[in-house]
């Protein structure tokens, strides 16, 4: 097969209808061979004749979608100097848009001999590793339209493609655990019932199941072990044809868009599945180790590890930055996703050793006309020194607000000295985001996520129970800020069961009515449990999958969740685009945009905030004090509300404010009863007594003014 010169751009394998252009970057290489594989595994090697700017390239007419391929790179092999080229290792294209096969962890996929890490291993790995697949880029998007939901109107549902659908009785068995299953009408109906506007998918980039997990009979369920940044994970496709996962993923996005639901991807650009110096040679390590990975400067055999996974991507290198940016742009333009959540995003900010919020990566994102226009969510920490960076990302970004999570958990379990912090968190965390010009929606508010307890387990366990992971319960976080309500784990005690149900409603209602962007973990709306396991990363089993039978036994919780989401959607006072100012927005107004009261009906004093033992607070949200403008430039107005929080273990009597604040009020939400927008709500007048049940939230809407 005689190659044509082809072009150095775009990188990867690009089919044009008549043949395929192949292009791969390697500054380390002295020779690159393109390897094509027949269905029976027969290999055909083509020496790539052209190299421009360290990009090796060729064009092969007649090479069609479905073709398996890989690379062999000849170049220096000196691990002590960070050089790990070895042509006996078949290497996956970093730009592969689909991946076929699997890594079977044969010794040949490693660059050294087992037991002798200094001994070079020249066994051929082609029969034991993954390969790239040429894909057909053409797809009928029909009338697809991205929803482009504004941040302040967004409600995120964090979900796992497999975990959400594996046990859903309404999804055909052959579609469970797949992209097609996720976009099945039965799943979409549930999402629409809840009122969520975006589904945030845990990693769907092609990932590997760790060798150590497989030896223990486990799998990398979460998927934070990426090997290909352009390829949708093949195991999540219902169709088994080579490269079919690409079209199936696109069809999923198109269907969710039709339902006005955005698709946000949890992406892992901070490390790859090649691990540390004892990891396999599968792709970037053998193509150009020094370019792609951060190496220890005084001993380049080893990798800098800011992620706890063995290696860290070298975002200081322009070609690595290009890889990440090209991947992001591809998922927006070709796969039409609506945003990204960046795993351990602080790693991407490490220009040198320390975290630098103005690193090249963020500069490039800021000026990119495609990526800068979608939702960008940072997990604002990593495991390296100084890695906790909540509140420190650039203005374009939103962040998983870990301080919100911790504070809300502490407040509802009755920890002391949380009132001031709690007030800041539920009003958008202005102390974190206002100074650099960001808005309340910079805060992604959550109480639970995939990493940690489910909501049910948060109120059912004091301690983690991760024995099923096979690590003697050493893995997973110890600081859960959870409370079991008096009994560890399942119980038939009616009083404990009722308290747990109330606490679940408290957490959901608080999250949905806080300023910022709320996020709900899949299954929390039906009290999903993992039996106290707070680190289900390796549990690809019924332990982690959503048990949809709970949707029948916990219909009341689903209805409550949907009700409070709808309450948020109807009232812009709960989703302001600007922070509270603590003053009237117009001259002559008597009422401030927000006010805080003690249970006695008096405005909070400095001493009240600093008391340290306060468990109850009443918040007035002024619907006439919203500084936002609608699409026509007219000022947004709304009803006014009282949010009455009682985290005390006893009932507390509160005095309803009167005068300018209002004369008549009606209850629109009560976490003690589980009612939202009851047909005949309880009504109160100013100065009347309102009994706040222990550990409950009551929301009142003003219906009359003096």
Active site members: 343, 379
Which of 257, 235, 229, 263 is closest to 97 using CA atoms? 229
CA distances 83 to 78, 92, 109, 124, 296, Å, are: 5, 18, 17, 19, 13
Phi and psi at residue 701, to the nearest 5°: -105, 135
Cis amide linkage into residue 10, ω under 30° from 0? yes
Four-residue CA torsion sign, 318, 319, 322, 324: negative
Q: At 55, is the secondary structure helix, strand, or coil?
A: strand
Distance, CA of 18 to CA of 64 (rounded, Å):
8
How many Cα atoms occupy the beta-carbon half-sphere of 583 within 13 Å? 5
The b/e string for 123-157 (b: 16+ C-beta within 10 A; e otherwise) is eebbebbbbbbbbbeebeeeeeebbebebbebbbb
Signed CA dihedral, 83, 84, 87, 93: sign only: negative
Q: Take residue 520 and report the two structure tokens written for it.
A: 């709900």
Taken in order 159, 524, 459, 400, the sign of the CA dihedral is positive
Closest by CA position to 104, among listed 122, 128, 124, 131:
128
> Contact at 8 Å (CB) between 360 and 321?
yes
Task: Give the DSSP letter string of 577-625.
Answer: SS---SS-SSTT--S-SEEEE-TTSPBPPHHHHT-S---EEEEEE-TT-
Backbone Cα Rg of the chain: 27
Query: Please, which residues bridge with residue 654 across strands?
Result: 690
Query: How many residues make up the chain in this entry?
Result: 706
DSSP reduced 3-state for 152: helix
The residue whose two tokens read 């082609």 is 126
The CA distance from 678 to 704, in Å, is: 18
Report the alpha-carbon distance of residue 621 to residue 184 in Å, rounded. Answer: 40
348: exposed, middle or buried (C-beta count within 10 Å: 0-12, 13-18, 19+)?
A: buried
CA-wise closest residue to 423 among 260, 623, 570, 597: 597
- b/e burial code for range 472-505 (CB count within 10 A of at least 16 → b): ebeebeeebbbbbbebeeeeeeeebeebbbbbbb
Q: What's the half-sphere exposure (Cβ side, CA atoms, 13 Å) at 580?
A: 28
* CA proximity to 156, closest of 329, 334, 422, 338: 338
Burial of 251 from C-beta contacts in 10 A (0-12 / 13-18 / 19+) = middle
**Phi-psi label, residue 142: left if phi above 0, alpha if psi -120 to 50, beta otherwise:** left
């Amino acid at each position: 097969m005689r190659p044509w010169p082809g072009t150095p751009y775009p990188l990867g394998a690009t089919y044009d209808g008549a043949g395929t252009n192949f292009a791969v970057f390697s500054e380390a290489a002295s020779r690159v061979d393109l390897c094509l594989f027949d269905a029976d595994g027969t290999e055909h090697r083509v020496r790539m004749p052209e190299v421009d700017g360290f990009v090796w390239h060729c064009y092969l007419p007649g090479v069609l979608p479905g073709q398996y391929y890989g690379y062999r790179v000849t170049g220096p092999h000196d691990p002590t100097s960070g050089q790990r080229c070895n042509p006996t290792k078949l290497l996956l294209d970093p730009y592969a848009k689909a991946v076929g096969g699997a890594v079977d962890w044969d010794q040949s996929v490693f660059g050294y001999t087992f037991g002798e890490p200094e001994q070079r291993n020249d066994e051929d790995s082609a029969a034991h590793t993954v390969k790239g697949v040429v894909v057909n880029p053409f797809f009928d998007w029909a009338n697809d339209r991205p929803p482009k939901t504004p941040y302040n109107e967004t409600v995120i549902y964090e979900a796992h493609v497999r975990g959400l659908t594996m046990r859903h009785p309404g999804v055909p068995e052959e579609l469970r655990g797949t992209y097609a299953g996720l976009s099945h009408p039965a799943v979409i109906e549930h999402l629409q019932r809840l009122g969520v506007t975006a589904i945030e998918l845990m990693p769907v980039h092609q990932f590997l199941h760790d060798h150590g997990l497989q030896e223990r009979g486990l799998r990398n369920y979460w998927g934070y072990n990426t090997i290909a940044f352009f390829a949708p994970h093949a195991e999540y496709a219902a169709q088994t044809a080579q490269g079919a996962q690409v079209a199936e993923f696109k069809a999923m996005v198109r269907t969710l868009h039709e339902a006005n639901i955005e698709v946000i991807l949890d992406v892992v650009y901070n490390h790859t599945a090649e691990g540390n110096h004892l990891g396999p040679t599968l792709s970037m390590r053998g193509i150009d180790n020094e370019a792609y990975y951060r190496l220890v400067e005084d001993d380049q055999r080893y990798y800098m590890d800011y992620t706890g996974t063995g290696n860290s991507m070298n975002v200081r290198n322009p070609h690595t930055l290009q890889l990440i940016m090209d991947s992001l742009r591809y998922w927006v333009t070709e796969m039409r996703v609506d945003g990204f959540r960046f795993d351990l995003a602080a790693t991407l900010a490490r220009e040198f050793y320390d975290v630098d919020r103005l690193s090249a990566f963020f500069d490039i994102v800021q000026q990119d006309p495609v990526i800068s226009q979608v939702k960008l969510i940072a997990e604002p920490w990593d495991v390296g020194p100084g890695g906790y960076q909540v509140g420190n990302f650039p203005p374009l970004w939103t962040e998983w607000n870990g301080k919100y999570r911790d504070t809300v958990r502490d407040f509802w379990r009755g920890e002391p000295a949380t009132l001031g912090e709690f007030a800041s968190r539920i009003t958008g965390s202005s102390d974190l985001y206002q100074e650099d010009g960001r808005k309340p929606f910079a805060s992604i508010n959550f109480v639970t996520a995939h990493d940690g307890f489910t909501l049910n387990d948060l109120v059912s366990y004091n301690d983690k129970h991760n024995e099923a992971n096979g690590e003697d319960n050493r893995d997973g976080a110890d600081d859960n800020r959870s409370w079991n309500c008096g009994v560890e784990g399942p119980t038939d005690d009616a009083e404990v069961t009722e308290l747990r149900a109330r606490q679940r409603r408290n957490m959901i209602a608080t999250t949905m009515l806080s300023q910022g962007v709320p996020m709900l973990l899949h299954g929390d709306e039906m009290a999903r449990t993992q039996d106290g396991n707070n680190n289900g990363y390796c549990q690809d089993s019924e332990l982690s999958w959503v048990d949809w039978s709970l949707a029948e036994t916990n219909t009341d919780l689903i209805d409550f969740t949907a009700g409070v989401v709808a309450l948020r959607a109807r009232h812009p006072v709960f989703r302001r685009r600007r922070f509270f100012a603590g003053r009237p927005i117009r001259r002559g107004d008597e009422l401030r945009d927000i006010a805080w009261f003690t249970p006695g009906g008096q405005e909070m004093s400095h001493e009240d905030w600093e008391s340290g033992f306060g468990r109850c607070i009443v918040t007035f949200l002024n619907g006439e004090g919203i500084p936002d403008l609608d699409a026509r430039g007219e000022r947004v107005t709304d009803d006014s509300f009282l949010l009455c929080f009682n985290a005390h273990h006893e009932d507390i009597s509160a005095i309803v404010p009167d005068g300018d604040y209002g004369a008549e009020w009606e209850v629109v939400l009560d976490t003690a009863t589980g009612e939202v927008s009851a047909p005949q709500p309880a009504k109160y007048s100013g100065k009347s007594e309102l009994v706040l049940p222990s550990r409950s939230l009551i929301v009142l809407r003003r219906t009359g003014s003096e």
